[in-house]
Amino acid sequence: MQETNSNVQNDMKQNASDDQVQEQAQSNCENQEAAQSEASSEQATAAAEPQTTQEAAVEPSVEELLEAAKAENAKLQDLYMRALAEMENSRRRAEEAVEKAHKFGVEKFAKNMLPVLDSLEKALELAGEERNPMIEGIEATYRQMVQAMQQSGMTEINPVGEKFDPAVHQAIAMVPAQADQVSGQVAQVFQRGWLINGRVLRAAMVSVIQ
């Protein structure tokens, strides 16, 4: 009986010892897991710190921001000046167009009136010294037309004795030189020319000395 009690006590001690061993092992495992978790957290923190430092290093300084603002301001100033120049050019072109319209607006009409003026001149040449009311009326009409054309900015081209100028003269014949005549001069005008505000409306038809 005593031996049995002794065995039971031994078994109970053994079980208690086993329980303590298991508790100790479980406690060790928990400690290891906590240590591993803490190590992982420290590694993550250590890895994040360089990234944060790098991001802080990339952030531009005040001087860099100021230089960037100055560059942007210079770009906008250049665009503004270009826009002003374009506006000025447009204004000047518009003024030139208006000025040309004022100067040459009657060009087509004046050019169409030149044959009428030529006909009046031819009629007066054929009349010669004859005088009658009709001839006097033709002379008055001719003078009025010439005056109106001059007031409209037109100038007559009658280059007898002048040097031939291909810009305003049209040579239709070459003639031999006579006494006191120089080669290249205009010998005769067959049809007078006209300028309108300095631009050729019709070139004078002439003969030129050889």
Amino acid at 177: A
pLDDT at 40: 59
> DSSP labels for the chain?
-HHHHHHHHHHHHHHHHHHHHHHHHHHHHHHHHHHHHHHHHHHHHHHHHHHHHHHHHHSPPHHHHHHHHHHHHHHHHHHHHHHHHHHHHHHHHHHHHHHHHHHHTTHHHHHHHHHHHHHHHHHHHHHTT---HHHHHHHHHHHHHHHHHHHTTEEEE--TTSBP-TTTEEEEEEE---TT--TTBEEEEEE-EEEETTEEEEPEEEEEE-
Q: Give percent of the chain above pLDDT 90.
A: 38
Q: Tens digits of per-residue pLDDT, 54-103? A: 555 578 888 888 888 999 999 999 999 999 999 999 999 988 888 777 77
Mean pLDDT (whole number) for 178-203: 90
Mean pLDDT (whole number) for 179-189: 88
Q: Tens digits of per-residue pLDDT, 10-52? A: 555 555 455 565 666 566 656 666 666 665 555 655 555 555 4
Q: Rounded distance, CA 40 to CA 28, Å?
A: 18
Mean pLDDT (whole number) for 95-117: 84
Q: 157 pLDDT exceeds 70?
A: yes
Q: 194 pLDDT exceeds 70?
A: yes
Mean pLDDT (whole number) for 112-117: 91
pLDDT at 89: 92
Tokens of 43: 């590694």
- Whether the full predicted model's pTM is greater than 0.85, yes or no, is no
Mean pLDDT (whole number) for 147-176: 91
CATH C-level class of 102-209: mainly beta
Q: 8 pLDDT exceeds 50?
A: no
Mean pLDDT (whole number) for 115-123: 91
pLDDT at 178: 82
- Of 28 and 6, the structure prediction assigns the larger pLDDT to 28
Q: Rounded distance, CA 83 to CA 148, Å?
A: 44
pLDDT at 172: 93
pLDDT at 36: 65
Mean pLDDT score of the chain: 80
pLDDT at 152: 85
Domain ranges of the chain: 1-43, 102-209
pLDDT at 2: 44
pLDDT at 131: 85
